[in-house]
């Protein structure tokens, strides 16, 4: 079975700082990788996903993530964060259509103005 | 136009009661899911239905029973509620249930069992 590890549970940054949230997964086969965001009081929304092709994927709101197969990683990045990026960020994998999404425990990001 | 909707948004009830949460999607998707988010924000899949047929049934107590009257609806019925059932329950849907498909989530139902 697959698993997902997010290293940082709480991250506090100032506006305009650069962001990198770590995500590692464990699974020996092909995986499809996702980052979801949950703004306060809202439902989960897809930021970006990777399943093949260019390992650097760009998502909404200036986010990007890089799939590094050798490191089993899919880290999320943003060069300059804004106060409105305050949210919970979830990395997830789907290794097979019958398995659904396996989520990491989430990273609570707080951006200070 | 809400893509995935859930009712109710909040549900407060006593231990031992039976309750249902409804979910509807207007995206024309074939597959629907239920996830549970605990107090530490950890999300875990509970069920998956594809065209009204159960595909995934993770190790949840049999007090939880999903019901899909048609492919646009997946309701969650919970019998004999326990304190540990308190959580936020999210419904989601995807086009065909493929591992590459984006899952679209509903707004969640916060269940509190007293």
pLDDT at A2 over 90: no
CATH number for the domain spanning B53: value is 2.60.40.10
Domain with B49, as residue range(s), is 4-99+106-113
Predicted confidence at residue B54, as pLDDT, reads 83
Q: Rounded to whole angstroms, how far apart are CA atoms B77 and B20? A: 4
- Which of chain A's residues have a Cβ under 8 Å away from the Cβ of B105? 36, 43-45
* DSSP code of residue A7: S
**C-beta atoms of A94 and B56 within 8 A:** no
Query: What is B60-111 written as a DSSP string?
Result: --TTEEEEEEETTEEEEEE-S--GGG-EEEEEEEESS--TTSPPEE---EEE
**C-beta atoms of B107 and A95 within 8 A:** no
| Total domain count, chain B | 1
Predicted confidence at residue A43, as pLDDT, reads 87
Give the model confidence (pLDDT) of A28-76 as tens digits.
Answer: 788 899 999 999 988 899 999 999 999 999 999 999 999 999 999 999 9
The residues spanned by each domain of chain A are: 3-112
Q: Which of A44, A52, A106, A108 to mutate to test the interface with B (most CBs of B within 10 A)?
A: A44
CA angle centred on B96, ends B94 and B100, rounded to 5°: 75
We find that the CATH architecture of domain A3-112 is Sandwich (2.60)
């Amino acid at each position: 079975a697959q698993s997902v590890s997010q290293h940082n549970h709480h991250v506090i940054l100032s506006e305009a700082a650069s962001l990198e949230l770590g995500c590692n997964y464990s699974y020996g086969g092909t995986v499809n990788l996702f980052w979801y965001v949950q703004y306060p009081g809202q439902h989960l929304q897809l930021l970006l996903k990777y399943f093949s092709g260019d390992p650097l994927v760009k998502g909404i709101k200036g986010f990007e993530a890089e799939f590094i197969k050798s490191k089993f990683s899919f880290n999320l990045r943003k060069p300059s964060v804004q106060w409105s990026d305050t949210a919970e960020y979830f990395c997830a994998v789907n290794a097979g259509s019958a398995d659904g999404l396996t989520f990491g425990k989430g990273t609570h990001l707080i951006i200070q103005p | 136009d809400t893509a995935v909707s859930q009712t109710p948004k909040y549900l407060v009830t006593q231990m031992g009661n039976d309750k249902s949460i409804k979910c509807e999607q207007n995206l024309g998707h074939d597959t629907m899911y239920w996830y549970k988010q605990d107090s530490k924000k950890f999300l875990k899949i509970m069920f998956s239905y594809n065209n009204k047929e159960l595909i995934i049934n993770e190790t949840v107590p049999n007090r939880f029973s999903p019901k899909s009257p048609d492919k646009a609806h997946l309701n969650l019925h919970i019998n004999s509620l326990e304190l540990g059932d308190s959580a936020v329950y999210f419904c989601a849907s995807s086009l065909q249930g493929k591992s590459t498909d984006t899952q679209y989530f509903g707004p969640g139902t916060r269940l509190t069992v007293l």
